[in-house]
Amino acid sequence: MNLLSYLNKELAGKSDENLELISVICSVADSTVDIAMDTRVTGLKQIRGSANEINVQGEEVQMLDQIANKSLIDSLSKNSSCAGYASEEIDEPLIFNQSSRFMVVADPLDGSSNISVNMPIGTIFGIIRNTDYGVSSFNKSGRYYISAGYSLYGPSDIFVICVNNKVSEFTLDPKKKEYQLSRDDIKIPRTGSIYSINEGNFISWEDNIKKWVLNNKNPTGSSSKRKTLRYVGSLVADAHRTLINGGIFAYPPDKSQPEGKLRLMYEANPLALLFTSAGGNAVSIDKEILDIEPENFHQRTPLILGSKDDIDDFMNFTTSGRSSFKETPEISPIFKWNKVNIAKLRSRLGLSRSRFGKKVGVTRGTVLRWESGDVSPNLSNNKALDSIYLSTRKELLQNPLDT
């Protein structure tokens, strides 16, 4: 089955929203086919060195970084369902169509230090609802991501996509330039035998990270088994191995990178949606990645992702060090819930006032008062309504403030 047939099956409602989401995913996928073709011949096309530029993150830009970024911009700017694009390689997000439904975020070429030595590299992307009709739609937590995926340019070129909280893998047929389903409904094993971390940073870590690493080599608890180490240095490759075989990948903070190295918007959030959908988890030391409220586009975060039991094990070591990490600000509600959109949400869910109230954590009478406009939901109820709305992402792609 090819990618388009798969998406048509998974998003079978054929609503405008679903069709537009499919077209945005396909625009990204088309672009990754072009990038895959370029990665095959970097040495022949003279495109494997530095572009002699420093990006907004202060990192050296490679020629392939620029080619991949341009390919995504070219493809997405032509898609009328794509409102805008933000990437690691551009200072500020681009807006193509202010009122369109979806935004795309991407790390166009992940693992760029591996290009020159012909090691696996990839593209990571996420798709966000354009809830604010503009740039601020990007600055939202990972709970807003409706879909995410990556391509991995390796021995085979693959495309992994998460829609409707289901993760599947496609392999590029290079002759047809078409992705074909190669793993359906991927579930990450509950635990795995590999840990993945750049141990060159050992002396710069906090003690609790050091203890966790040492415990992987020489476990002390009766239940844990010794793990072996694998580290490619391309997040996409390390994440894909972890997704398929289980285990854990960690890029924790260290003395020289106290916020972590990896980018929340372009790398951590897309992979967190994918890993949690596949039954694993993704955290930043003391909280789930998807709960982090971004403060800026290029924000970095510690990233630990993998099998559920292995993440729990990691958290057991690190929760004692929590106080040394930055407190996260109070999460404010996403939407302003009023009598119109509360009634609309309840009717779309097909729930009576009392069943809806139960879901939110209030009485039937409170729902009645909200819907009549007598009172408004308080902050915590607003957040509960946000999370009910977001958890129904499959049916409710539209902003509830639309009438």
Q: Enumerate binding residues for ligand AHM (CB under 6 A).
A: 59, 107, 110-112, 198, 233-235, 251, 261
Give every strand in the sheet of 194-196, ordered side by side: 228-229, 194-196, 248-251, 303-306, 281-283
153 - beta bridge partners?
121, 157
Residue with tokens 């409220």: 293
Task: Return the number of the residue (110 or 238) whose C-beta is nearest Mg ion.
Answer: 110
Task: Return the number of the residue (144 or 249) whose C-beta is nearest ligand AHM.
Answer: 249
Q: In this chain, which of 17, 20, 38, 107 binds Mg ion, going by CB under 5 A?
A: 107
CA distance 120 to 234: 7
| Residue 109 region by backbone torsions, left for phi larger than 0, else alpha for psi between -120 and 50, else beta | beta
Give Cα 247 distance to the centre of its chain: 19
| Per rule CB under 5 A, count of chain residues that contact Mg ion | 2
Least Å from the CB of residue 108 to Mg ion? 9
Single out the segment in contact with Mg ion by CB under 5 A; choices: 102-110, 113-121, 133-141, 151-159. Answer: 102-110
Least Å from the CB of residue 325 to ligand AHM? 20
20 in Cβ contact with 401 (< 8 Å): no
Binding mask 108-147 for Mg ion (x = CB under 5 A): --x-------------------------------------
Task: Return the number of the residue (195 or 370) whose C-beta is nearest ligand AHM.
Answer: 195
Least Å from the CB of residue 233 to ligand AHM? 5
Task: Return the number of the residue (111 or 126) whose C-beta is nearest ligand AHM.
Answer: 111
- Residue 253: count of CB within 10 angstroms of its CB: 23
Q: In Å, what is the CA distance from 244 to each residue of 189, 208, 218, 307, 312? A: 8, 27, 24, 10, 19
Least Å from the CB of residue 111 to Mg ion? 6
Single out the segment in contact with Mg ion by CB under 5 A; choices: 16-24, 99-107, 281-289, 354-362. Answer: 99-107
Q: E-assigned strands of 154-208?
A: 157-163, 166-173, 178-183, 194-196
Q: Is the dihedral of CA 178, 183, 185, 186 positive or negative?
A: negative
Does residue number 89 form part of the binding site for Mg ion (CB under 5 A)? no
From the list ligand AHM, Mg ion, none, pick the one residue 179 interacts with, judged by a Cβ distance below 5 to 8 Å according to partner type: none
Least Å from the CB of residue 8 to ligand AHM? 32
Q: Which residue sits closest to Mg ion, CB atoms considered?
A: 110
Is 179 in a helix, a strand, or coil? strand
Residue with tokens 């009576």: 352
156 in Cβ contact with 172 (< 8 Å): yes
From the list ligand AHM, Mg ion, none, pick the one residue 59 interacts with, judged by a Cβ distance below 5 to 8 Å according to partner type: ligand AHM
**Residues of the shown chain interacting with Mg ion in the complex, contacts defined by CB under 5 A:** 107, 110
